[in-house]
Amino acid sequence: DTAVSQTPKYLVTQMGNDKSIKCEQNLGHDTMYWYKQDSKKFLKIMFSYNNKELIINETVPNRFSPKSPDKAHLNLHINSLELGDSAVYFCASSHTLAGVGDTQYFGPGTRLTVL
- Binding footprint of another protein on the chain (CB under 8 A): 4, 31, 40-45, 48, 55-56, 58, 90, 92, 94, 96-109
The CB-of-85 to another protein minimum distance in angstroms stands at 19
- For residues 15 and 111, which CB has a smaller minimum distance to another protein in the complex? 111
The CB-of-15 to another protein minimum distance in angstroms stands at 25
Q: How far apart are CA 25 and CA 71, in angstroms?
A: 9
- For residues 64 and 106, which CB has a smaller minimum distance to another protein in the complex? 106
Cβ(112)–Cβ(86) under 8 Å? Answer: yes
- For residues 51 and 79, which CB has a smaller minimum distance to another protein in the complex? 51
- For residues 57 and 65, which CB has a smaller minimum distance to another protein in the complex? 57
Q: How far apart are CA 64 and CA 81, in angstroms?
A: 9
Residue 64: other Cβ atoms inside 10 A: 17
Q: What Å distances lie between residue 78 and 29, 59, 95, 103, CA to CA? A: 25, 15, 26, 27
The CB-of-31 to another protein minimum distance in angstroms stands at 8
For β-strands 43-50 and 31-37, DSSP reports them as antiparallel
